[in-house]
Amino acid sequence: MATKSKREGLGPAFNRLWSASLASNVSDGLFKTAVPLLAASLTHDPFIISLLAAMVMLPWLLFAIPIGGLVDRVDRRLALATANAARFVLAAALALSVGTDTVNIPVLYLIAFLMGIAEVAYDTTAQSLIPQMLKPEHLERGNSRLEIGAVTTGEFIGAPLSGVLYASAIALPFIWGSLGIGVATVLLFMIPGRFTKDINAASSETETVAEPKLGYWADIRFGIKYLYDDKTLLKLVLFSSPLGRLTFCSC
């Protein structure tokens, strides 16, 4: 019986999330290789090409906290699917512009920035959704499957495949990448159930006194203050961020 419990499935909700993650990360690997190659074909200025990475990371600086506060107030399954749907629309628009030879650097910058915002919403929601999907004893197993799947499909399948497709036709990695995100979006919308903060709190067996609900901006101020007061956590966040690593290395 003990062996059987260890091999117990993680449930249909997690399986669809994991399948969506695999499809999405293959697409991320395709774009990771193809977008810099496309930018290099549009300009020979290394500074302009390097700004693409900044366009993707800038939304984390500007929108991570506001989106985090919003995620606590909506159905996280719906938020996750909506964020991925936005990524699909943007990826399809990029594929169309590449296929019709109308793409240029400003278009790449705009799509990269908007994709970055959608990525912030997707990643933030996914991180908060896992504890609601899985029992505490299954969290390690579930997170391991997600991380292994992300690295394997993104780095070892999507990235090299992108180079092969790009060599065949420039538009191919963008077309297949948008299709992968589309498949992931459908799978996310098919996740059964609702996942809100209130439902999770109500199911807690240890909660005896209801915590007072704070407003949206009050939650954000609380989060910023909590991070600032916890110096260890603050240093971890600073040094793990791209800006923090750059500052640290330049000292």
Q: By the 8 A CB rule, do 55 and 112 touch?
A: yes
Has residue 199 got a pLDDT over 80?
no
Q: What domains are there in the chain, each with its CATH number? A: 11-199 (1.20.1250.20), 213-251 (no CATH)
Has residue 16 got a pLDDT over 60?
yes
Counts of helices then strands in the chain (DSSP H, E) = 12, 0
pLDDT digits (tens, 9 = 90+) for 34-70: 999 999 999 999 999 989 888 888 898 889 888 988 8
The pTM of the full predicted model, rounded to 2 decimals, is 0.83
> Which string of b and e fits 217-237 if b means at least 16 CB within 10 Å?
eebbeeeeeeeeeeeeeeeee
Has residue 211 got a pLDDT over 90?
no
C-alpha closest to that of 24 among 135, 118, 133: 118
What is the pLDDT, as a whole number, of residue 152? 93
Has residue 238 got a pLDDT over 80?
no
